[in-house]
Structure 1
Amino acid sequence: MNINILKTNSDNVDFIYLIKLLDEDLKEKYGDLQKQYDDYNRNKDIKQVLVIYRDNVPVGCGAYKEYKDKTVELKRIFIDKKERGNGLGKLVVNTLEKCAKEKYYKYAILETGIKQNEAIHLYKRCGYTIISNYGQYIGNTNSICMKKTL
């Protein structure tokens, strides 16, 4: 298995393809409820994007953007269903964290949904702890927010 990581931005066609798969997966889990998140998940102008390739095929992605006060927010982390369980999710999270640390960020936060058990377990294994919901997720009982010191 040959794994490559491309650092790119949100205009990358493979990132756009993977995000389409992510959005389909989320719609499957949440139905019309997912529409409330559409504004939060706009990909335009995200400059810190990773695309993971296995044998030159795009199989995973993730991104981060500056949140505030030396904090980044991890966004749009996704591994193709056929590739899950191979450590690629952890690779995406670890690589995003490394990139953020190189730019002197101290904290990473993220939001995930209550029905995304695989993601919740992944983030906990990567050292994230549940925090009070932040920003637009305050009061949203379908969201779980997490944080890690980098």
Structure 2
Amino acid sequence: MNNKIEITKTTSESQDFIDLIAALDTSLWECYPELKTNYWRNNVIELNPNVVIIYLDDKAVACGCFKKYDKDTIELKRMFVSPEARGMGLAQKILHELELWAHELGFSLSVLETLYKQKEAIGLYQKVGYAIVDNYEPYVGLENSICMKKQI
């Protein structure tokens, strides 16, 4: 069966993005109930003009975004693929789109933070060239965080 895949650039005001992030948050808190208070302050959706959503047969199933970290660097945020769409390479498509977009805007580095139990995510990031680095702010001292970096 061929699924129709559509990749859309949008903002964090997109209701589809908001709905996907709610699903991401639910899955994270189920996996890491002990971290909710420590990480909540880093988990605010601020207005973000750099959001990518993937639609599968007209249903929003995956998302990601980036924000400026410093003059040369973006930070990837809110990467999520809904369970029914996993295993189709959609996370890799989102990463590619976000990195291309950031590069077009003049950024040369990408950083991200994920949590230690996210083995599939860590594997994906390493597969596409991210390396584990020392935790950057605001994750310094947070032992559950894994920070990664890549030249884009």
Q: Fold match, TM over 0.5? A: yes
* Unmatched runs of 5 consecutive residues or more in structure 1: none
Q: Distance in 2 between matches of 1:62 and 1:72?
A: 13
Q: Distance in 2 between matches of 1:35 and 1:122?
A: 27
- Equivalent of residue 102 in structure 1, options 97, 101, 104: 104
Kindly state the Cα deviation for residue 38 of structure 1 after the two structures are TM-superposed: 1.6
In structure 2, the residue corresponding to 1:77 is in which secondary structure?
A: strand
* Unmatched runs of 5 consecutive residues or more in structure 2: none
**Size of the alignment, in residue pairs?**
150
Kindly state the Cα deviation for residue 131 of structure 1 after the two structures are TM-superposed: 0.3
In structure 2, the residue corresponding to 1:136 is in which secondary structure?
A: coil
Kindly state the Cα deviation for residue 135 of structure 1 after the two structures are TM-superposed: 0.3
In structure 1, the residue corresponding to 2:32 is in which secondary structure?
A: helix
Q: Deviations over 1:52-101 (max 9, x none)?
A: 10010000000000000310000000000111111001001111000000
Q: Distance in 1 between matches of 2:63 and 2:37?
A: 21
Q: Distance in 2 between matches of 1:131 and 1:125?
A: 15
TM-score relative to the length of structure 1: 0.97
In structure 2, the residue corresponding to 1:135 is in which secondary structure?
A: coil
Q: Deviations over 1:109-132 (max 9, x none)?
A: 000000111110110111100000
Q: Distance in 2 between matches of 1:111 and 1:22?
A: 15
Aligned-pair identity (%): 43
